[in-house]
Amino acid sequence: MRKKNCYLGIDTSNYMTSICFINEEHEIIYEAKKLLEVKMGEKGLQQSQATFQHIKNLPMLFKQVNEMEEYQLSGIAVSKGPRPEEGSYMPVFLAGMAVAESMAKVLNIPLIFTTHQEGHIAAGIHSADQKMTSNHFLAVHLSGGTSEVLEVRNIGTAFEIDIIGGTLDLHAGQLIDRIGVLLGFPFPAGPSIEKLAKISNDDFKRIPTSIKELCFHFSGAEAEAKRRLAKNEPRESIARAIEHHIAASITKVLSKALEKEYPKDILIVGGVAQNQYIRNYLIKQLEHPRLGGRLFFAHKNYSGDNAFGVATIGLTQILLNK
């Protein structure tokens, strides 16, 4: 019996070790990921600590691979850096690259290098509830290490990405995590902040946004949230104010982008994009007839760091190059 082809994606980001096997229909055969461990009260990991954890996690994730006797591994894709631009480098990605290069060499199969950001975009395209039909769109990447507004062109074998806006200081995920740690939550604090904010009522005090063209500041929101904590304001109101501040900042920037006649199709990816309040706010504001935006969100399972998008990039490139 002839075996079916399958393709492997590997991503070793700042806070997640991920592997994913897919078939030629972009269906997931097996995937596994493990959140890196951050000590209670800490706001993150050093690159050396994260890399060490990836090295420990990868063999464990592969040990859990189910029997795939009907498949043969026909290609591997791996994230080699944060984003597709010269000089974009972080040591954490070396762990995944070492495994991918070794496997590809021994098995004599194609190896595709991509980036973490491209993986997020690909995961969004393939997991969104609504199918994107345009190859020219805006993407917003919101995470602990990135908060960027991107103009993207899907050219088939890769993405052409231009950064047109984004944060001028803190990232959206950093803001959430820093306030979450102050509130006593574990890192990453996104799920805890969202759960706490749900018990807030609608009269919470807003935090003013700080926008400059297509860029935004989040450091002021951090300072204001700290002041409110010091005054013993309700914790749930502070959590909701942080969510709202991020949502309102992104809405204002994207509104400006639409007014400047950038594409109306907008893909939202990254761990912060899992937040339902932020999603609902963006949809309500940007899909208003006055602006005419069309929003697409990565499935919540693939908003955060994952290897599914990396695997789909590998599959696409390998099939196109045959």
Answer yes or no: do 12 and 92 share one domain.
yes
Q: Rounded CA gap, 221 and 175, in Å?
A: 8
Mean pLDDT, residues 244-264 taken together: 98
Give the residue, 322 or 28, on which the prediction is more confident. 28
Residue type, 154: N
pLDDT at 202: 85
Degrees (nearest 5) of the Cα angle 40, 145, 176?
50
Answer yes or no: do 45 and 151 share one domain.
no
Banded model confidence at residue 68, pLDDT cuts 50, 70, 90: confident
Structural domain of residue 141, as residue ranges?
133-297
Answer yes or no: do 154 and 271 share one domain.
yes
10 Å Cβ neighbour count for 236?
Answer: 18
pLDDT at 217: 97
pLDDT at 56: 98
Task: Report how many domains make up the chain.
Answer: 2
Give the torsion sign (CA, 252, 187, 223, 165).
negative
Give the residue, 300 or 66, on which the prediction is more confident. 300
pLDDT higher than threshold 90 for residue 2: no
Answer yes or no: do 286 and 315 share one domain.
no
Residue 59 included in any domain:
yes
Quick check: helix, strand or coil at residue 76?
A: strand
pLDDT digits (tens, 9 = 90+) for 78-115: 999 999 998 999 999 999 999 999 999 999 999 999 99
- Please give the mean pLDDT across all residues of the chain: 96
Answer yes or no: do 220 and 95 share one domain.
no
pLDDT higher than threshold 90 for residue 322: no
Answer yes or no: do 242 and 286 share one domain.
yes
pLDDT at 176: 98
pLDDT at 156: 85
Nearest to residue 152, comparing CAs of 162, 143, 142?
162
Mean pLDDT, residues 188-217 taken together: 96
Answer yes or no: do 287 and 189 share one domain.
yes
Answer yes or no: do 43 and 143 share one domain.
no
Mean pLDDT, residues 237-262 taken together: 98
Residue 127 included in any domain:
no
**Contact in structure between 130 and 321 (CB atoms under 8 Å):** no
What would the DSSP string read from start to end of 9-57?
EEEE-SSEEEEEEEETTS-EEEEEEEEPP--TT-----HHHHHHHHHHH
| The two three-digit tokens of residue 297, written as one number | 């969100």
Residue type, 88: S
Element containing residue 308 per DSSP (H, E): helix 308-321
Domain with 234 in it: what CATH number? 3.30.420.40
**Contact in structure between 48 and 91 (CB atoms under 8 Å):** yes
Answer yes or no: do 142 and 108 share one domain.
no
Residue 249 included in any domain:
yes
> Is 57 buried (19+), middle (13-18) or exposed (0-12) by CB count in 10 A?
buried
- Highest averaged pLDDT of the listed ranges 67-71, 84-88, 307-311: 307-311
Answer yes or no: do 312 and 290 share one domain.
no
pLDDT digits (tens, 9 = 90+) for 140-192: 999 999 999 999 999 988 899 999 999 999 999 999 999 999 999 999 999 99
pLDDT at 307: 98
**Contact in structure between 193 and 180 (CB atoms under 8 Å):** yes
pLDDT at 250: 98
pLDDT higher than threshold 80 for residue 66: no
